[in-house]
């Protein structure tokens, strides 16, 4: 029987243990009608309820494979959008707190990307024949749709090298948004000279570039970054290596180029998790990625004598993902169990169709 939607106000003041109890009770009522997908950065008090966990690529695939009526996404907004786009029409993707965005994704928007495309048209002629637009999955659905419409593609931190290869089989140049660091590191690993990877500043005319710079560039890197990963610096690695000469450094490719170059391993959150988990016991690790994941690994691997340390001296969490707390999860699940769908993420059909083209190209290539 459906009852009236419960307002979040009544959950805001719940103690954590009360919220946990209500999450468990609501899940029992929902049974297999709801599946909980959690990104690796999710806080521990929410992560413990996950049915499925992963990085962005794994979660995008899982979202297309689950049959549950409700996909409750404990991550950020763009991830729930991907779940909506990739799931079946009868399924609903839910984001427990609509304010859980991604600051990097917000650094690009359709108006600015379209302006960039117009300016590139003025300089180069027909960009559809010269440039492949590649959007990192950390972007709004309308930007994925832009890529779908213009022969472009989506990439994740796992498959960026493969996707870049594909992009260059299509056209001579790549416009990569919104993360300059992932684009630069991926291009660097392929041997593209740094002066052929130029930064496009969307707040300046022609990205702040001369026609010669645009003509010479292999990759135009959107001026965007992750506020968490920008905290990691090469000096942190240098200092740590002096104290731990036998240790290993592993970083996420959203970190800057110097950090990536000076790391022993670079890869997605799933790669980081698998690499450290599979490493021999008693090894020592410095990790350049979000704190919740690093803390979880440190705790889980302590019994094997592994020491896992966070790269930055300051605390840096994904503060937006952190908004999905037990109170929001309890509120969401209780409403769903009562028959009230709250915080559904619904990408407009035309946009979803084009975004799906770009996402399916990615899944086919990677």
Known binding positions for [4Fe-4S] cluster = 102, 226, 318
Per the annotation, binding residues for iminosuccinate are 39, 56, 136-138, 157, 252-254, 269
Tell me the closest approach of the beta carbon of residue 227 to ligand SF4, in angstroms. 6
Q: Is 157 near ligand 13P (CB under 6 A)?
A: yes
Q: Is 275 near ligand SF4 (CB under 6 A)?
A: no
Tell me the closest approach of the beta carbon of residue 120 to ligand 13P, in angstroms. 27
Token duo for residue 37: 């997908």
Number of residues that bind ligand SF4 (CB under 6 A): 13
Binding mask 51-90 for ligand SF4 (x = CB under 6 A): -------------------------x--------------
Q: Is 156 near ligand 13P (CB under 6 A)?
A: yes
Nearer to ligand SF4, 290 or 334 (CB): 290
Please enumerate in sequence order all residues whose Cβ is within 8 A of that of 318, keeping only pairs 6 or more positions apart, or say none: 41, 76, 102, 228, 290, 292
The whole-angstrom separation of Cα 224 and Cα 172 is 22
Output the CA–CA distances (angstroms, integers) from residue 7 to 4, 45, 197, 342, in the order listed: 9, 22, 49, 10
The one among 71, 83, 102, 174 contacting ligand SF4 by CB under 6 A = 102
Q: Is 226 near ligand 13P (CB under 6 A)?
A: yes
The one among 20, 139, 251, 269 contacting ligand 13P by CB under 6 A = 269
The whole-angstrom separation of Cα 210 and Cα 74 is 43
Tell me the closest approach of the beta carbon of residue 302 to ligand 13P, in angstroms. 23
User: Hey, which residues between 286 and 325 contact ligand 13P (CB under 6 A)?
Assistant: none
Q: Is 268 near ligand 13P (CB under 6 A)?
A: yes
Output the CA–CA distances (angstroms, integers) from residue 279 to 264, 276, 298, 307, in the order listed: 13, 5, 13, 11
Q: Is 321 near ligand SF4 (CB under 6 A)?
A: yes
Paired with 137 in beta bridges are none
Token duo for residue 206: 């022609």
* Alpha helices in 99-159, H assignment, sequence order: 110-124, 127-130, 141-149
3-state class of 266 per DSSP? Answer: strand
User: Hey, which residues between 217 and 246 contact ligand SF4 (CB under 6 A)?
Assistant: 226-228
**Neighbouring C-alpha atoms within 13 Å toward the C-beta of 33:** 14
Instruction: By CB under 6 A, name the binding residues for ligand 13P.
Output: 40, 55-56, 138, 156-157, 226, 252, 254, 268-269
């Amino acid at each position: 029987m459906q009852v009236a939607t419960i307002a979040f106000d009544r959950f805001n003041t719940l103690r954590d243990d009360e919220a946990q109890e209500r999450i468990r009770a609501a899940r029992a009522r929902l049974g297999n009608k709801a599946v909980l997908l959690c990104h690796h950065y999710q806080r521990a008090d929410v992560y413990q309820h996950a049915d499925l966990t992963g990085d962005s690529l794994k979660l995008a695939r899982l979202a297309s494979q689950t049959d549950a009526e409700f996909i409750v996404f404990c991550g950020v907004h763009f991830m729930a959008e991907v779940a909506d786009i990739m799931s079946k029409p009868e399924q609903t993707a839910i984001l427990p707190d609509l304010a859980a965005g991604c600051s990097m994704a917000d650094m690009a928007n359709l108006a600015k990307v379209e302006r960039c495309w117009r300016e590139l048209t003025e300089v180069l002629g027909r960009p559809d024949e010269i440039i492949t637009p590649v959007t990192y999955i950390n972007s709004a659905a309308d930007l994925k749709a832009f890529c779908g419409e213009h022969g472009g593609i989506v990439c994740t931190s796992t498959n960026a090298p493969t996707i870049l290869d594909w992009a260059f089989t299509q056209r001579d140049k790549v416009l990569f948004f919104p993360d300059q660091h992932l684009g630069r590191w991926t291009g660097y690993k392929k041997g593209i000279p740094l002066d052929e990877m130029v930064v496009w500043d969307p707040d300046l005319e022609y990205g702040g570039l001369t026609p010669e710079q645009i003509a010479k560039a292999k990759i135009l890197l959107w001026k965007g970054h992750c506020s968490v990963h920008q905290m990691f610096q090469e000096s942190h690695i240098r200092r740590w290596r002096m104290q731990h000469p036998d240790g290993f450094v592993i970083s996420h490719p959203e970190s800057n180029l110097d950090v990536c170059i000076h790391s022993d391993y670079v890869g997605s959150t799933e790669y980081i998790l698998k690499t450290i988990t599979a490493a021999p016991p008693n090894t020592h690790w410095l990790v350049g990625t979000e704190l919740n994941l690093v803390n979880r690994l440190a705790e889980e691997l302590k019994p094997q004598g592994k020491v896992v340390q966070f790269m930055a001296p300051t605390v840096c969490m994904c503060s937006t993902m952190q908004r999905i707390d037990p109170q929001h999860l309890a509120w969401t699940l209780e409403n769903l169990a009562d028959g009230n769908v709250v915080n559904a993420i619904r990408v407009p059909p035309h946009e979803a169709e084009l975004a799906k083209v770009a996402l399916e190209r990615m899944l086919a290539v990677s």
